[in-house]
Structure 1
Amino acid sequence: MRGNGSGGVSRRRFIVGTGSILGAVTLSARVSAAQAAATPAAAVIDNGAHVPVLVIGTGYGGSVAALRLAQAGVNVQMVEMGMAWDTPGSDGKIFCNTTSPDNRSYWLRTKTKQPLSNFFGIPIDKSIPRYTGILDAEDFSGITVYQGRGVGGGSLVNGGMAVTPKRENFGAILPSVNADEMYNTYYPRANAGLGVGMIDPAWFDTTDCYQYARVGRKQAQRSGFPFVFVPDVYDWDYMKQEAAGTATKSALAGEILYGNNYGKKSLQKTYIAQIKATGKVTISPLHKVTSVSPASGGGYTVLIDQINTNGDTTVTKTVTADKVFFAAGSVGTSKLLTKLKATGALPNLNSEIGKGWGDNGNVMCGRANHIWDPTGSLQATIPCGGIDNWAAGGAFAEVAPLPTGIETFASFYLSITKNPNRGTFTWNAGANRVDLDWQTAWKQPSIDMAKTIFDKINAKEGTIYRTDLFGVYKIWNDTLTYHPLGGAVLNKATDNYGRLHGYSGLYVIDGALIPGNTSVNPFVTITALAERNIEKIIATDL
């Protein structure tokens, strides 16, 4: 389950398999038996277990909570809907490549759903075997939400852009949180825990793999926009070795959308590695929580479906937990709480449950450059810079890679915008599911804000928008988000530290707390807020 908004998208990355139509691609359906097993049976939570703390999800918020609780001496059980992603497949690698998606790529789909769906107007999505793959493209009315599935949540599939919002924007992001505490204590703690670093500007200026970003910088600056380098969680020394040919290629081999095998410091290499070292945390992959309700003897009764790699339930477990942390990502947490309130499992949750959901203003576009502005056939999949027009136009645009392996003369962007529209999760009793009230038309403010950057660049450069990347004659991808946020908003659905109103011992500690927008990529803010909240909870509730 996803801790970013994402999972990130990261949830949230936009690198695409355009190479799949430009050269022969073999779809591999094979995965080793060891990978399919995902985890030893002895390591998973037992039916009938009674645990001090259950954490639902292994993304950013859940990982922070589990680590700090374990360091405080508390035994913790973490449950994760996705796989462990710790065993290589038949190709010797844990994750498949972006340009040749196989069964490891998507969560329980039989066809890929790439955010860039067309190239030269030709559809590029491919049939794949149904499997509990790493990227969930979850469809709601009017929008598809990309989320990571596996131990590490959204950190597995995002581009690692680890951005701390500008201080002057923070009041609009989390108005009830003390900014001094966040910027003096919790943002630094999060950045240290995540292993955040910055690209070497001198290397950036000379390496072939960032030619696309240099073109983006030049064109932004010529139109009067600041280009800013953005911190990231990639191992930049490793990427230099990739470029030098002394290390196995990862970011320079098109890996990102469906996982990165070597260079990226996902949660598996940071917080989760520390979690495992404590010896006080058990992680159960392929376990999906379906219900949480008060137990007669105190604490909470939690129903958990253990699933196989086809998505089928193999056993349903009943567990008792003294405290439960909801960290299934903005969508997962919001859907579960909305269902539990509506169906009577947790009827005392307040009326703010399900409200305040936003897409971080995500829209995508591409531009066609002149032949004297090639963007390079080799493109690192890790974005390292963006165009900042937030104050004047309400938009920040990642200069994103388009790693097709050929020269495209195209510039590609994922914009984050100050879109004010918010959706609401509701229970659909007739269909036995949670729906999201969202309309594609609500993306129009995002398009208008992104156009404050790209209309000006096109006018200055004498260039045009690409119309062949998201369909036929379609300029904007306005039907997705990599950055889901909100649905159980801090100081509304919860108190100011994530304690759910109506129930002692239930907490939200992920991107569901953040009301819809962070002005930048959200996972550092999700991590920092979790660090703040868990510190308070440990001090006062345990």
Structure 2
Amino acid sequence: MSDKGLHKTNQNGVSRRGFLGRTGSILGAMALAGQIAPSQAQAATAGAAAAGPIDNGAHVPALVIGTGYGGSVAALRLAQAGVDVHMIEMGMAWDTPGSDGKIFCNTTTPDYRAYWLRTKTKAPLSNFLGFPIDKAVPRYTGILDAEEMGGIIVYQGRGVGGGSLVNGGMAVTPKRANFGAVLPTVNADEMYDTYYPRANAGLGVSLIDPAWFESVDCYQFSRVGRKHAQRAGFPFVFVPDVYDWDYMKQEAAGTVPKSAVAGEILYGNNAGKKSLQQTYIAQAKATGKVTISPLHKVTSVSPASGGGYTVVIDQINTTGDTVGTKTVVADKVFFAAGSVGTSKLLVRLKATGALPNLNNEIGKGWGDNGNVMCGRANHMWDATGKVQASIPCGGIDNWDAGGAFAEVAPLPTGIETYASFYLSITKNPNRAEFSYNASTGGVELNWQTAWKAPSIAMAKTIFDKINSKEGTIYRTDLFGTNKIWGDHLTYHPLGGAVLDKATDNYGRLHGYTGLYVIDGALIPGNTSVNPFVTITALAERNIEKIIATDM
């Protein structure tokens, strides 16, 4: 990824300080301690909808299911075209501080805000120094969903802003040479000339200051990762991000409240992170034509007798109980609940007869973006630092030769670990399928953990060589007992309603007029890099066409 195509970002995104970030994760975090329980008043206010929930019996021109990247792009562009939009979000608004005065809890001290309807944390690193680290927490509609589906755990954001709340913000445009394998039916010239620049501008993408990087304590871990990569013959590349780097400089200088420098990431950043709430969603709300209903979950979409679609929505409370059911009519419906959410909903609607004309591609082509994690035990002279900024800023590229790109990731424990940690994205060809289980009424995924074997082999093309060069070994205490590879998870779910298969080439679902998919479900399993810029750019492309022809 050393070519200019990877790093080409639009610098028109405004740098704003003091963001109350609504974010952050990709990895490297752990649940080392503590919890606090919400008072009833806090629980009530935290779950309140920002602009009032949708009314039973409402009729809306455009209903967007989900508030992540694709849904936020759709809402903004529809509103700018004069269309009234209502967005339905299963998670909370994340606009009310807890008893500690903060909206989000810290990575190392998960509490009721951390996990989606779990009674025990489910951190991507299950162990540290031989000890299990997951802790009991109150059941609550927290920010991070660790959804277990057979052979894999899928980490997803829950709240207004979707996945932008719980990723590390690595805003990577794929190398142009790889794009044909990512979206083979999409015109690459249009994407790289128009839609990727538009997405990068809308997201506020920028690069870390290379000079600052060289000396600041909180990126010592990344400099060690660079040294080891380059000594083994691999290129280290700076990767764009959506963090406010000016704010992080002030964090490091101690002049503003710390967020990334305090290790905030897995359960949200209280400052600095440019999540969708500060970018696309903020712009969408400013039009006056977009409203959002948090703590609402769509359960059914079916053709309405008078045209459009009847949409059934459950309203839930902060312990996940249904407190009301609403039925509304929408002229057009945009499925943007994320790869897993959109795929599961469509598979269920087809199987139960609500949308029987959906084609047989629904639920197919799902992949994990080749995610696999590992850690390396460094020598004592390669300390990685007890203070580590939680935002990754670089990676190791062996995609062409070995099928892997590895983020040099933080391990923000607050102590010196002498460890280098990585999340690899690999060229794993395995694809899974969602199916409806009539006996349980649930939707299942047939992913198998054994399908991670190609990802491990590809990641080893980097780390075996680094270990050999440095005389180091893999850490075996992070994912269990004597277990090297984090092959049980993904942060990058993709596919399930693949473009030009389950939909036409712009996301229109086959079999129905006025139903669209506009999120990561369209992308068949792999983007070769972190996917959210591609999801955003594809949504920009598709909604432009839909507005021009269907509205």
Classify the TM-score, shorter chain. over 0.9
Write out aligned runs for 1:105-504 (5 A): 105-504=114-513
TM-score (norm 1): 0.96
Change (3 A) 1:11 1:346: farther
Paired letter, 2:281? I
CA–CA distance in structure 2, aligned partners of residues 36 and 157 of structure 1 = 23
Write out aligned runs for 1:54-69 (5 A): 54-69=63-78
- Per-residue CA deviations over 1:482-532 (Å, capped at 9, x if unaligned) read 000000000000000000000000000000000000000000000000000
Secondary structure at the counterpart of residue 412 of structure 2 = coil
Change (3 A) 1:487 1:85: same
C-alpha displacement at 1:254, in angstroms?
1.2
Q: Is the 8 A contact 1:15 1:98 kept in 2?
A: no
C-alpha displacement at 1:121, in angstroms?
1.6
- The Cα RMSD (Å) is 1.2
- Per-residue CA deviations over 1:32-66 (Å, capped at 9, x if unaligned) read 72553322587110000011000000000000000
CA–CA distance in structure 1, aligned partners of residues 289 and 206 of structure 2 = 29
Q: Is the 8 A contact 2:25 2:268 kept in 1?
A: no
Paired letter, 2:357? N
- Per-residue CA deviations over 1:126-181 (Å, capped at 9, x if unaligned) read 00000000000000110000000000000001000000000000000000000000
Secondary structure at the counterpart of residue 146 of structure 1 = strand
The reply to whether residue 89 of structure 1 matches residue 98 of structure 2 is yes
Q: What is aligned with 1:526?
A: 535
Q: What is aligned with 2:520?
A: 511
Q: What is aligned with 2:12?
A: none
Paired letter, 1:232? D
CA–CA distance in structure 1, aligned partners of residues 182 and 49 of structure 2 = 41
Q: 1:27 aligns with which of 35, 39, 56?
A: 35
Q: Is the 8 A contact 2:104 2:267 kept in 1?
A: yes
Q: Which runs of 5+ in 1 are unaligned?
A: 1-9
Secondary structure at the counterpart of residue 317 of structure 1 = strand
CA–CA distance in structure 2, aligned partners of residues 121 and 149 of structure 1 = 30
Change (3 A) 1:75 1:186: same
The reply to whether residue 48 of structure 1 matches residue 61 of structure 2 is no
C-alpha displacement at 1:15, in angstroms?
2.8
Paired letter, 1:27? Q
CA–CA distance in structure 2, aligned partners of residues 425 and 183 of structure 1 = 32
CA–CA distance in structure 2, aligned partners of residues 472 and 187 of structure 1 = 42
Q: What is aligned with 2:86?
A: 77
C-alpha displacement at 1:11, in angstroms?
8.6
CA–CA distance in structure 1, aligned partners of residues 216 and 534 of structure 2 = 31
CA–CA distance in structure 2, aligned partners of residues 41 and 305 of structure 1 = 17
TM-score (norm 2): 0.95
Q: What is aligned with 2:29?
A: 16
- Per-residue CA deviations over 1:205-263 (Å, capped at 9, x if unaligned) read 00000000000000000000000000000000000000001010000111010010100
The reply to whether residue 103 of structure 1 matches residue 112 of structure 2 is yes
Secondary structure at the counterpart of residue 462 of structure 2 = helix
Paired letter, 2:194? T
Q: Is the 8 A contact 2:50 2:93 kept in 1?
A: no
CA–CA distance in structure 1, aligned partners of residues 359 and 409 of structure 2 = 40
Calculate percent identity across the aligned residue pairs. 82
CA–CA distance in structure 1, aligned partners of residues 98 and 354 of structure 2 = 40
C-alpha displacement at 1:79, in angstroms?
0.3
Q: Is the 8 A contact 1:228 1:387 kept in 2?
A: yes
C-alpha displacement at 1:313, in angstroms?
0.3
CA–CA distance in structure 1, aligned partners of residues 251 and 185 of structure 2 = 44
Q: Which has the higher mean CA deviation after the structures are superposed, 42-51 or 480-489?
A: 42-51
CA–CA distance in structure 1, aligned partners of residues 338 and 375 of structure 2 = 29
Q: What is aligned with 1:4?
A: none
Paired letter, 1:74? V
Change (3 A) 1:12 1:377: closer
CA–CA distance in structure 2, aligned partners of residues 204 and 30 of structure 1 = 39
CA–CA distance in structure 1, aligned partners of residues 51 and 409 of structure 2 = 42
CA–CA distance in structure 2, aligned partners of residues 272 and 50 of structure 1 = 22
Q: Which runs of 5+ in 2 are unaligned?
A: 1-22
Q: Which has the higher mean CA deviation after the structures are superposed, 33-42 or 232-241?
A: 33-42
Secondary structure at the counterpart of residue 267 of structure 1 = coil
CA–CA distance in structure 2, aligned partners of residues 409 and 426 of structure 1 = 44
Q: Is the 8 A contact 1:12 1:483 kept in 2?
A: no
Paired letter, 1:312? D
Secondary structure at the counterpart of residue 221 of structure 1 = helix
Paired letter, 2:251? E
- Per-residue CA deviations over 1:303-357 (Å, capped at 9, x if unaligned) read 0000000100000000000000000000000000000000000000000000000
CA–CA distance in structure 1, aligned partners of residues 444 and 188 of structure 2 = 34
